[in-house]
């Protein structure tokens, strides 16, 4: 049984991870952690997600002594300015669901990973990982006159644009085809309604051909199940920075 602590439990992703973990025989949620000052601190998690959870929401990562792994579902500023150092002191594996880190933030995450196992991904879906593998294959074969565009769609409450997944896709494309740089691939971000997430990659050449690849989700379920599987996996790893490439190997 892997004992997990969910940081950002009052948010959409954190709340759903706690809800879905209840059905997993291999996982127990032992801490639900909110931002200090959030109005749900001290309340029961069941008030937020329903069901029979008897977890009481706390506001301190340092109080979470008896867990095997943390998952951070907050935002980049909260992670870097408040949570990162507390995880380092806790000395437990950390799964980072949070997105939109700068290069400077990444240096801190890489440093943290020298002391503990750290998992970072903008998308926990295994199908999305396989979608990117397909794109890596396709982009190696495109002609020099092919323009590449990424269009991503998300709900209207998403704070960051472009999405972490769109950046992952662009990085994979430039790594797979040395002719391309990030500047060659535009990302168009659409925000609206309750779209859970869609990523479209368009290869348009000047010989009247367009090839389009698309991945979409209609709920957060694929992210949540992927995140739960990753937590069970990361507790068995050595110190280092891991991604979905390592998990899906």
Ligand X SMILES: NC(=O)c1ccc[n+]([C@@H]2O[C@H](COP(=O)([O-])OP(=O)(O)OC[C@H]3O[C@@H](n4cnc5c(N)ncnc54)[C@H](OP(=O)(O)O)[C@@H]3O)[C@@H](O)[C@H]2O)c1
State the pairing for strand pair 197-204/185-191.
unpaired
Known catalytic residue at 82: no
Beta strand residue intervals within the chain, DSSP E: 2-7, 27-33, 57-58, 69-72, 94-96, 117-120, 147-154, 185-191, 197-204, 210-217, 240-242
Q: Which of residues 85-124 bind ligand X (CB under 6 A)?
A: 97-99, 121-124
If one asks whether residue 233 binds ligand X (CB under 6 A), the answer comes out as no
Give 190-229 as a DSSP string. EE-TT--EEEEEEEE-SSS-EEEEEEEESSSHHHHHHHHH
Choice among 92, 158, 199, 215 that is catalytic: 158
Please give the structure tokens belonging to residue 4. Answer: 């997990």
* Closer residue to ligand X in complex, CB, 104/208: 104
Known catalytic residue at 52: no
**Closest-approach residue to ligand X (CB):** 11
- Residues 26-65, mask of contacts with ligand X (x by CB under 6 A): -------xxx--x---------------------------
Among 2, 29, 83, 162, binds ligand X (CB under 6 A): 83
In angstroms, the Cα distances linking 83 to 87, 105, 126, 241 are: 6, 12, 27, 17
Give 130-161 as a DSSP string. HHHHHHHHHHHT--TT-EEEEEEEE-TT---S
- On the CB side of 233, CA atoms within 13 Å amount to 18
Least spacing, CB of residue 241 vs ligand X, in Å: 15
Least spacing, CB of residue 194 vs ligand X, in Å: 11
Among 4, 5, 6, 11, binds ligand X (CB under 6 A): 11
Beta bridge partners of 240: 117
**If we measure between CA atoms, which residue out of 124, 123, 96, 97 comes closest to residue 110?**
96
DSSP annotation of 55: P
* Closer residue to ligand X in complex, CB, 98/174: 98
* Closer residue to ligand X in complex, CB, 1/77: 77
If one asks whether residue 131 binds ligand X (CB under 6 A), the answer comes out as no
If one asks whether residue 75 binds ligand X (CB under 6 A), the answer comes out as yes
Choice among 154, 215, 236, 238 that is catalytic: 154
Q: Which of residues 175-214 bind ligand X (CB under 6 A)?
A: none
If one asks whether residue 82 binds ligand X (CB under 6 A), the answer comes out as yes
Please give the structure tokens belonging to residue 248. Answer: 């899906």
Among 2, 4, 5, 7, binds ligand X (CB under 6 A): 7
Q: Which residues are catalytic?
A: 154, 158
Chain residues in the site for ligand X (CB under 6 A): 7-8, 10-14, 33-35, 38, 73-75, 78, 82-83, 97-99, 121-124, 160, 164, 223
């Amino acid at each position: 049984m892997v004992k997990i602590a969910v940081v950002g439990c009052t948010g959409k992703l954190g709340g759903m991870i706690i809800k879905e973990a209840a059905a997993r025989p291999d996982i127990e949620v032992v801490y639900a952690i909110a931002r200090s000052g959030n109005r749900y601190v001290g309340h029961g998690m069941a008030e937020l997600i329903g069901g029979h959870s008897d977890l009481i929401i706390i506001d301190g990562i340092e109080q979470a002594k008896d867990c095997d792994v943390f998952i951070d579902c907050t935002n980049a500023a909260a992670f870097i300015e408040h949570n990162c150092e507390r995880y380092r002191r806790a000395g437990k594996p950390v799964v980072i669901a949070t997105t939109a880190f700068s290069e400077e933030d990444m240096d801190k995450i890489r440093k943290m990973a020298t002391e503990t196992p750290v998992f970072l991904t903008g998308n926990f879906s295994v199908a999305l990982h396989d979608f990117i593998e397909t794109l890596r294959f396709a982009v190696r074969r495109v002609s020099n006159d092919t323009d590449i565009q990424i269009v991503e769609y998300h709900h209207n409450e998403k704070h960051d644009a472009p999405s972490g997944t769109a950046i992952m896709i662009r990085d994979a494309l430039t790594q797979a085809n040395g002719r391309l740089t990030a500047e060659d691939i535009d990302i168009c971000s659409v925000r609206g309604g309750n779209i859970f997430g869609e990523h479209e990659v368009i290869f348009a050449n000047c010989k009247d051909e367009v090839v389009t690849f698309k991945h979409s989700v209609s709920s957060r379920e694929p992210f949540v199940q992927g995140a739960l599987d990753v937590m069970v996996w990361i507790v068995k790893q050595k110190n280092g920075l891991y991604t979905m490439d390592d998990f899906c190997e």
